[in-house]
Amino acid sequence: MILLYAVGTAFLGLVLFNRLMPARAAHTAVGLERRRSGLATKHGSLPYLEGGNGPETLVLVHGFAGDKDNFTRIAAMLVPHYRVIIPDLPGFGAARRDAAAKHDIAQQVENLRAFLNELGVQRFHLGGNSMGGFIACEYAARYPAQVRSLWLLDPAGTAAAFAVPAFTHYMQTGDMPLLVREPGAMRALLDTCMHKRPWFPWCLEHQLARRAVHDYPLHVQIMREVVDSPRLEDQYQHIDTPALIVWGKEDRVLSPGAAIAMQALLPGSEVILMEGIGHLPMLEAPRRTARDFLAFQQRLREHHAAEVA
């Protein structure tokens, strides 16, 4: 009976902590998740997470309205194999905010390149989700000698990707779920992005909503810059970097049909379409998404070994 009382008291304490001190509770929850995944918080020209000591480096780039912690959970399966680096891009997460700065895809590529040069990282695997996938492809096209392979999770960048009702509505009205004007709209963002939504504590959703509302004017500007960035197929005939293209079949932010257009641009690519998954495979199905990536990397190593032999 005493044990039951102690457990009940502890649970009540957590509930109160979650509701009465959401900023501190969210900070604690995120910190625990990072440690559980073997990631440390670091600061350079961009704030970033880093973990693992594998022989090769894997750089992961979040999408619009996201941040470095979009990859925290999946990183637990990656750090045994790679040195994993996950930055916040300017305008997002804990990175700098500057309404006078450019945030188009070309500039974000250069922001990422300067950051990696600062860390002394010159050759790496590059993954990205959504806008981050657009940035990753553009990076590989501009600096092919640096990128060993691409891991593209529901990537933007092609005209076909934007052929969805969310972007049709955005082009007509300027509104879309990724732009959070008021706290209550955070739920619409999460529901739009994920078909198989993982559990988030209330404190974390509350803090993300506060940050998104604060960032609304800047993110309206950044969204315009991203959408106005030249499409990949208008700039490049093909990108020779080996790539794994992953797309959730239930994606409502970017069209899963664009996997075909992306594969045509990347002749050395493989495509995986994930049943019952939306726009964020690394959050909705982290174990399966990681397994698919590690299997792809093993195939690349076997292919390289066969070529050398």
Listed in sequence order, the residues at least 6 apart from 16 whose beta carbon sits closer than 8 Å to its beta carbon are none
Query: Higher pLDDT residue, 17 or 157?
Result: 157
Sign of dihedral through CA atoms 77, 78, 84, 90? negative
Assign 302 a pLDDT band (cuts: 50, 70, 90).
confident
Please say if the pLDDT value at position 51 is more than 80. Answer: yes
Q: What number of other Cβ atoms are within 10 A of residue 145's Cβ?
A: 8
Residue from 103, 125, 130, 255 carrying the catalytic annotation: 130
Assign 306 a pLDDT band (cuts: 50, 70, 90).
confident
Q: Could you please report the per-residue DSSP string of 47-115? A: EEEEE---SEEEEEE--TT--GGGGHHHHHHHTTTEEEEEEPPTTSTTS---TTS--SHHHHHHHHHHH
User: What integer best gives the mean pLDDT of the chain?
Assistant: 91
121-162 confidence digits (pLDDT tens):
999 999 999 999 999 999 999 999 999 999 999 999 999 999
- pLDDT reported for residue 6: 35
Q: Tell me which residue of 242, 268, 291, 254 sits closest to 63, measured CA to CA.
A: 254
- pLDDT reported for residue 21: 65
DSSP H stretches of helix in 198-285: 202-228, 232-235, 258-265, 281-284
Please say if the pLDDT value at position 10 is more than 60. Answer: no
Beta strands in 130-242 (DSSP E): 147-153
Assign 13 a pLDDT band (cuts: 50, 70, 90).
very low
- pLDDT reported for residue 15: 39
Please say if the pLDDT value at position 216 is more than 90. Answer: yes
Is 125 catalytic? The answer is no
Average pLDDT over residues 3-11: 35
Worst-scoring range by mean pLDDT, 45-59, 97-111, 196-210?
Answer: 196-210
Please say if the pLDDT value at position 100 is more than 70. Answer: yes
Q: Is 276 left (phi over 0), alpha (psi -120 to 50) or beta?
A: left
Please say if the pLDDT value at position 119 is more than 60. Answer: yes
Q: Tell me which residue of 50, 52, 99 sits closest to 221, measured CA to CA.
A: 99
Is 130 catalytic? The answer is yes
Helix (H, G, I), strand (E, B) or coil at 247: strand
> pTM above 0.85?
yes
169-203 confidence digits (pLDDT tens):
999 999 999 999 999 999 999 999 999 888 878 88
E strand or H helix that includes residue 244: strand 243-248
Assign 86 a pLDDT band (cuts: 50, 70, 90).
very high
- Cα–Cα distance measured from residue 276 to residue 248, given in angstroms and rounded to the nearest whole number: 7
**What percentage of the chain reaches a pLDDT higher than 90?**
83
Query: Do the Cβ atoms of 86 and 39 come closer than 8 Å?
Result: yes
- pLDDT reported for residue 304: 74
b/e sequence 166-175, b meaning 16+ C-beta within 10 Å: bbeebeeeee
- pLDDT reported for residue 18: 52
Count of residues for the chain? 309
Q: Which domains does the chain have, with CATH numbers?
A: 2-308 (3.40.50.1820)
- pLDDT reported for residue 74: 98
Query: Do the Cβ atoms of 140 and 233 come closer than 8 Å?
Result: no
Worst-scoring range by mean pLDDT, 232-236, 274-278, 298-302?
Answer: 298-302
Average pLDDT over residues 265-273: 96
Sign of dihedral through CA atoms 267, 272, 273, 279? negative
- pLDDT reported for residue 309: 67
